[in-house]
Amino acid sequence: MTLVLTLQPDDPTPPYQQVRRQLADLITAGLLGPGDRLPPLRQLAGDLGVAVGTVGRAYRELEQEGLLTSRRGGGTRVAAHARAPEGGRRQLLEGMAAEFVARARTLGFTDEEIIVALGRQLPS
Amino acid sequence: MSLIVLFVLVGTPLLLTLIALSLARRRIVTGDEWKRVRLMLAAAVVTGGVVAWLLQGTLDLGRGAMLAPAILGVSLVAGVGLGETVVRPRRPAGPRTASLETRQVTEYLPRGVTTVVVATAALHLAALTLTTATASADDMGRAGRQVAAQCGGTGSVASPYPGSFYSGPLTALLVVMGLATLAALMAVVRRPRGFAPDEVGDDVLRRASTTRVLAAAGAALAASHAGIAFFAGTALLRMDCQRPWMAPVGWALLASVPVALLVLGWLLGLIVTPGALPAERAQQPVETR
């Protein structure tokens, strides 16, 4: 399965933060495992249409969090100890759901409306 | 002479880059893109032709003629490389995606074309090594300009023969072409995603580009080999007195000329054949970058 990052130009979240969050989520969900190699900065930056420094900042922050390791000439890889926590995928999904529900409630939607909207996104 | 050499070394790539940038400045419709790439190719061939003509009048003793195919080839490689990397439409606005797969040049090299180009390069290198090793100085003391043989009390010479006098600058030119090819291949592989609607289409376009760049390099090698093999083969065969190896090698070199010309024709066909664009984006207008 090819893993893909998506950058939304309309999202107020800074691009480096979007990249950082998506990579962190992929590691937490176990889709990126220890030792997996990430693409070079230039390739990722070129594909996403952002400056090399933007991707570099995302990589750097993930390194500081201990999720990635970089070696000169060896590229950037997922750190050996950055294993997906037990129930990490479930926690991630619940976090996303909680975030969605909180945002919808802030905008004044009722719980029923939220459930209906979510149901429409999941056609059986 | 030094001004001409300076023009070749600095002016040619600069001129071709300026042409590519001017072609990429104007708005490009995706379906129309191939016309610009063809214009770039035509500009490269014309520029290479003018440079080869200028050098033919400047470099003495047939060196210009011997280098002409390689000069045209280097210009073609530059033109194809620029056409495949600079003359591209700008990607449409909206979300941008990036695969986490690391792209490598080797993944995008077509096996058949790569084999033919490597074989052509090996044949050309072998021919140049042989002619350089067997050439001798001419009557004016210019090293590597003729082939000579001694039969008892009589001797025979033939020139021009592609010894170091010719193969030196030619090898330098071929090294430059090799580096330009490598740079173009890396630029194509690093080219951003987004010209095709999906990853498969993106890979198809990228592979079409690497095929054209590699074909241009192969065409340059084949053209250069045809010229060198013709000069070397005819020189060896018209010697009145020959060493035992000269006749078979001369015939082998001459036999390789039509093969090189066939390879040249096939590779040129690959370069000028338009690549298929993904149907979903065929009519979609996009801006130039």
**pLDDT at res. A83:** 66
CB contact under 8 A, A43 and B93: no
Q: Does B25 touch chain A (CB under 8 A)?
A: no
| Mean pLDDT computed over every residue of chain B | 83
| B140-162 pLDDT per residue, tens | 878 888 888 888 778 888 888 99
List the domain boundaries for chain A: 15-78, 88-120
Per the CB < 8 A criterion, the answer to whether B161 and B235 are in contact is: yes
Residue B183, min C-alpha distance to chain A (Å): 15
CB contact under 8 A, A7 and B199: no
Q: Does A8 touch chain B (CB under 8 A)?
A: yes
Structure ipTM = 0.74
By the 10 Å C-beta count (0-12 exposed, 13-18 middle, 19+ buried), B195 is classed as buried
| A62-92 pLDDT per residue, tens | 999 889 998 887 789 998 877 666 666 777 7
CATH 3.30.70.2740 correct for A15-78: no
**pLDDT at res. B198:** 66
pLDDT category of residue B266 using cuts at 50, 70 and 90: very high
**pLDDT at res. B196:** 64
| B83-142 pLDDT per residue, tens | 877 777 677 677 888 888 888 899 899 999 999 999 999 999 999 999 999 988 877 878
Instruction: Count, in order, helices (H) and strands (E) of chain B.
Output: 8, 3
Per the CB < 8 A criterion, the answer to whether B84 and B37 are in contact is: yes
CB contact under 8 A, B99 and A38: no
Predicted model pTM? 0.78
CB contact under 8 A, B95 and A7: yes
CB contact under 8 A, A39 and B98: yes
pLDDT category of residue B275 using cuts at 50, 70 and 90: low
| A94-121 pLDDT per residue, tens | 888 888 899 899 889 999 999 999 888 8
Residue B193 has pLDDT above 50, yes or no: yes
B 40-99 residues inside an 8 A Cβ radius of A: 91, 93-99
Chain B residues with CB-CB distance to A49 below 8 A: 91, 96, 192, 194
Q: What is the rounded distance in angstroms from the CA atom of residue B107 to the CA atom of residue B92?
A: 26
| For chain B, percent of residues with pLDDT exceeding 70 | 85
